[in-house]
Structure 1
Amino acid sequence: MPFRKTDSKGLYLEVFPNGSKLWRYKFRIAGKEKRMALGAWPDISLADARKRRDVARLKVLDGNDPTLERKRAKRLARMNAGNSFKSVAEDFIKVRMENSGKAPATIRKARWYVSLLVPSIGARPINDIEPIEVLEALKKIERKGHRESANRTRALASRVFRHGIVCALCKSDPAAHLGDALASPVVTHRAAILDPIKFGQLLRDIDEYTGTPLVRIAMQILPHIMTRPGEMRLGKWSEIDWGQKIWNIPAERTKLRRLHAVPLSEQVMLLLRELHCHTGGFEKMFPAQQSHLKYMSENSINQALRRMGYGPDLVTAHGFRSTASTFLNESGKWHPDAIERSLAHGDSNAIRGIYNRGNYWDERVQMAQWWSDYLDELRSGRKIVIGDFAKG
């Protein structure tokens, strides 16, 4: 049986049969005797135990029960742990992004932005976070030269706080007005060749590329189809409708989260048949060189362009889209909306986007073939300048 060694003013040391010792404070409140644990000896010395007793004793003299205050503090700590910025951010990503079908890449980026804030405010109860705390966390990112990341992280944090407001976990968004306190990101445009003669030389250089056949064919196809590099690189053979000459890119792989049908010209069909000779036995159209179970690296095309002598300030894989958009618009032959549909762009005018439901399919089919024919003319070395477009 345990026994006690008393000190004074209700403090005693309880000694257990196994040798452990625990400081306790005995007091009466509302006529009822109660006990409060103050910590184990020798971790808590006699002097420390007396200090803790004195703090609790003052609360009792004021008519407060220190054991109830301790229980409330523990409940608050548990509640705050579940309402930390990190936990609310995780709930936001799950409810507002994963359940809404956002692209895996978008979700990974959101988690990365949250990870930048976790060291500073991740464990803080979301309702207690002040604007200065968020700003200090963002300034750490900015001081590393990552201006755009700082601004995007602020935007993501603001969405997390607004999610917390909706869930009644916080009352305000301390990140809402911090944008003016951050340096504006340096705007960089994806490099693209907008001179027809120079682009023709690039097409010839691509044909002469001596690297892996898959990368060469990818570089040959991409200028024709006007998709984003990732939409092409992650393609599967099941998406190709050989009879209708259409590449159906599923919604989950597009930026606008909607199916994007790409009309395929005769030139692209020939390139796909060549590609099929290399990877037709696999699910993936552009598998990795080491394993057909993985996709070709997202940097493969840009690295190939660099090896060919085209620096990042001159051209990028994504820049092929800018080239197509510029040349097609300046040709004057095609409706701007047909071009935008081919590029899988959203409509910048919200009202116009609601009513403009046509996908210009017939015109897009004609445009795809015309565009491939024009690329062939550039490749052949025919000196066509922008002014010649409307005459073709």
Structure 2
Amino acid sequence: MALTDVKIRNTKPGAKPIKLSDSEGMYLLINPGGGKYWRLKYRFEGKEKVLALGTYPQVPLAEARDLMRAARKELRNGVDPGAARRAQKCAREQRAANSFEIVAREWWERFKPTWTEGHAQTILARLEQNVFPWLGGAPIGEIEAPELLAVLRRIEARGALETTHRVKTICGQVFRYAIATGRAKRDVAADLKGAIPPAKGRNHAAITEPKEVAPLLRDLDAYQGGFVVRCALRLAPLVFVRPGELRQAEWSEIDFEAEQWNIPAQRMKTKAPHIVPLSTQALDILKELQPYSGTSRYLFPSGRTFDRCMSENTVNAALRRMGYDGDVMTGHGFRAMARTILDEVLQIRPDYIEQQLAHALRDPNGRAYNRTAHLAERRKMMQTWADYLDGLKAGAKVLPFKREA
């Protein structure tokens, strides 16, 4: 006799499992603990098997019968319904394991050792805030260009065009990693070339005209804020390192005898050690600073404690207080200033400049330059640069750019 809801509700658990038969091999298993489970007993290729159809009352009687009929139809078509369910479960697990977020985090963990800690955290934060909420659960091999574009346009709509391009670049790296590991067929980020307006590059604004550099240098010397910050501002144009490398500089890295600053690999973007030759002007600033912060680990400690270096916004905030908006000059802009004027005014060899900027250069044989490459020439260049800046501050005649000659 077929089951009814009344009979199911009225049957109480016993000391042993109870089976309430319905039809065509389907029954309800009631365990001593009170759990009620739909089961279908069937034979496939001469073997008796059991298929789970869900629990009662989450799966009511009528729905359980529909599931039983679907399984019987599979049997008539020569398909083992139990094997089919296992294959479906495996496919779901595989899709989940190949989701964009899973692959992206795997890529991030693999490449994190090649980045600075700050850069690694920035990449992860951009993914977590801008991509994972919308694409994180999608199988990476099934994501199409319009889906990624929709995510990028959300960022663009906030007015963060620079971030939009950076997130697109990060996603492209994740897709290429997925291709290499057999989980995607193409980089859909590359399909979006030209779909997003170009960034204006306001984040790294720089003063590069010598006639405008002169008053900036005089303003740095006259800065009325803290002494440590003033030293950092004065040193920045002389060494033109990345802002993070400057603010995290440690006294143990300064070699006064050799007149150079040895930055270890773990603090460099390129993950290679770097030497910054120190001009006499740079050494004078460091000697002024040493009595104040020489007992600290850092050249430029935080204003609150000597145990931490100054914050990443300190230099930019100081420039703002002096009237240099973010679209005019930034801490990173000292690099563009040096690169432009060294090349176009002082006519220094570009490879010397790029080496001093710690860009990832290769020699003619394809090998990465070591940290001592062109060191003698770079020492001369850094002193020439410091003397040139002194001349600008003193009102020396401004040399024209080569392109204007």
| Smaller-chain TM-score bracket | 0.7 to 0.9
Provide the rounded CA distance (Å) in 1 between the counterparts of 2:177 and 2:401.
Answer: 54
Which SS does the other structure have where 1:291 is aligned? Answer: coil
Provide the rounded CA distance (Å) in 2 between the counterparts of 1:63 and 1:215.
Answer: 79
Q: Which runs of 5+ in 2 are unaligned?
A: 1-15
Provide the rounded CA distance (Å) in 1 between the counterparts of 2:143 and 2:65.
Answer: 35
Shift of 1:303: 0.7
1:19 aligns with 2:34: yes
Of residues 293, 298, 308 in structure 1, which corresponds to 2:322? Answer: 308
**Could you tell me the percent identity over the aligned residues?**
38
Provide the rounded CA distance (Å) in 1 between the counterparts of 2:149 and 2:211.
Answer: 49
1:185 aligns with 2:199: yes
Shift of 1:110: 3.0
1:341 aligns with 2:385: no
1:385 aligned partner, one-letter code: V
Match of 2:12 in 1: none
Q: 1:9 to 1:264 in 2, by over 3 A?
A: same
2:100 aligned partner, one-letter code: F
Match of 1:34 in 2: 49
TM-score, scaled relative to structure 1: 0.87
C-alpha offsets along residues 282-341 of structure 1, whole Å, 9 cap, x if unaligned? Answer: 212112122222221111111111112222233222222333333333444644433333
Shift of 1:58: 1.4
Count of residues in correspondence between the two structures: 385
Which SS does the other structure have where 1:181 is aligned? Answer: coil
Shift of 1:216: 0.7
Written as runs of structure 1 = structure 2, the 5 A alignment for 1:33-182 is 33-95=48-110, 97-99=111-113, 101-115=114-128, 116-182=130-196
Query: Which moves more between the two structures, 354-363 or 59-68?
Result: 354-363
Which SS does the other structure have where 2:204 is aligned? Answer: coil
Q: 1:136 to 1:50 in 2, by over 3 A?
A: same
Provide the rounded CA distance (Å) in 1 between the counterparts of 2:284 and 2:336.
Answer: 24
Q: 1:278 to 1:37 in 2, by over 3 A?
A: same
TM-score, scaled relative to structure 2: 0.85
Q: 1:319 to 1:353 in 2, by over 3 A?
A: farther
Shift of 1:54: 1.6
Shift of 1:198: 4.1
- Alignment RMSD: 2.8
Shift of 1:232: 1.2
Q: 1:150 to 1:190 in 2, by over 3 A?
A: closer
Which SS does the other structure have where 1:63 is aligned? Answer: coil
Provide the rounded CA distance (Å) in 2 between the counterparts of 1:31 and 1:353.
Answer: 66
Written as runs of structure 1 = structure 2, the 5 A alignment for 1:231-380 is 231-332=245-346, 334-347=348-361, 351=364, 359-380=373-394
Q: 1:156 to 1:198 in 2, by over 3 A?
A: closer
C-alpha offsets along residues 96-155 of structure 1, whole Å, 9 cap, x if unaligned? Answer: x135x2232332233234322222222222333333333333333333333333333333
CA contact (8 A) 1:239 1:249 kept: yes
Provide the rounded CA distance (Å) in 2 between the counterparts of 1:329 and 1:106.
Answer: 29
Shift of 1:195: 4.5
Shift of 1:388: 11
Shift of 1:5: 1.9
1:324 aligned partner, one-letter code: A
CA contact (8 A) 1:234 1:295 kept: yes
